[in-house]
């Protein structure tokens, strides 16, 4: 093989090794792509991690909004989400647990806010709370043991990826409190049963005639047989 051919082969081998090395640098757990942060706010305090937090507004602003998030408990004791407030305005978020559950964050587990079947966090009035799309809104989570967790979260409209996580997917007050109106309506069967079981009024024999006031009782005259 000529020297020129050997030099060409060596250059090609070197280039191939360089490309392979660059590719290896972009793979694995320390790859640069894995360090890209999303727009969803996240923070950690002690054993508590709060991730993927957003305020999601209704399609027609101003109006209600909701908070979507997932709270992880990496500790050995359960914690409870006690409140969420909007910093600045002091507005309290209406928290409602998922059906058959409460707002506990079990040790080694998590609590989801927003979305079908999860707990909900509703902000009734965005205008009063000072919330607008595009804001980096400061909010405060209050947990039973960890205490205050402050963070800034992005305000986004309920479109595209956020459909179903906004206020339109939050249960109404009536749905969250199905027993609220139970005492206001009586069972229709109860009144019907009472009517059916009522003692009927005594009836007067058709042969009896009532004596006129101050007079004597009269009876129909007897007829003679002829």
122-168 pLDDT, tens digit each: 999 999 999 999 999 999 999 999 999 999 999 999 887 788 787 87
Task: State the Cα–Cα distance between residues 179 and 120, nearest whole angstrom.
Answer: 19
Q: Which residue, among 67, 33, 94, has the nearest Cα to 151 in the 3D structure?
A: 67
Give the pLDDT confidence score for residue 2 in this predicted structure.
52
Give the pLDDT confidence score for residue 165 in this predicted structure.
80
Give the pLDDT confidence score for residue 126 in this predicted structure.
93
Surface-to-core class of residue 52, CB atoms within 10 Å of its CB (0-12 exposed, 13-18 middle, 19+ buried) = middle
Model-level pTM? 0.60
Q: What is the mean pLDDT of the chain?
A: 73
Task: State the Cα–Cα distance between residues 158 and 64, nearest whole angstrom.
Answer: 11
Give the pLDDT confidence score for residue 25 in this predicted structure.
42
CA distances from 193 to 28, 184, 201 (A): 74, 19, 17
Give the pLDDT confidence score for residue 197 in this predicted structure.
52
**What is the mean pLDDT, run by run of 10 residues, along the chain of 226 residues?**
49 46 40 42 95 90 90 97 94 95 97 94 93 93 97 91 76 46 46 48 47 47 48
The DSSP call for residue 47 is T
Q: Which pair of tokens denotes residue 120?
A: 């909900």
Report CA 9 to chain centroid distance, whole Å: 65
Give the pLDDT confidence score for residue 177 in this predicted structure.
46
């Amino acid at each position: 093989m000529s020297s020129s051919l050997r030099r060409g082969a060596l250059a090609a081998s070197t280039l191939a090794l360089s490309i392979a090395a660059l590719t290896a640098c972009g793979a694995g757990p320390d790859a640069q792509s894995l360090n890209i942060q999303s727009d969803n706010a996240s923070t950690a305090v002690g054993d508590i991690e709060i991730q993927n937090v957003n305020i999601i507004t209704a399609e027609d602003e101003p109006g209600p909004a909701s908070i979507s998030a997932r709270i992880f408990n990496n500790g050995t004791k359960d914690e409870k989400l006690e409140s969420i407030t909007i910093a600045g305005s002091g507005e309290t978020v209406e928290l409602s647990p998922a059906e058959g559950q409460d707002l506990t964050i079990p040790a080694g587990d998590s609590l989801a806010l927003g979305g079908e079947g999860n707990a909900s966090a509703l902000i009734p009035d965005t205008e009063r709370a000072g919330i607008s799309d595009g804001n980096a809104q400061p909010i405060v989570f209050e947990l039973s043991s960890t205490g205050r967790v402050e963070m800034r979260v992005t305000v986004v409209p309920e479109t595209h990826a956020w459909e179903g996580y906004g206020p339109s997917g939050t249960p109404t007050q009536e749905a969250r409190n199905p027993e609220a109106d139970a005492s206001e309506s009586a069972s229709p069967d109860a009144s019907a049963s009472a009517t059916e079981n009522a003692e009927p009024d005594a009836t007067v024999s058709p042969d009896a005639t009532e004596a006129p006031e101050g007079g004597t009782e009269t009876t129909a005259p007897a007829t003679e047989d002829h």
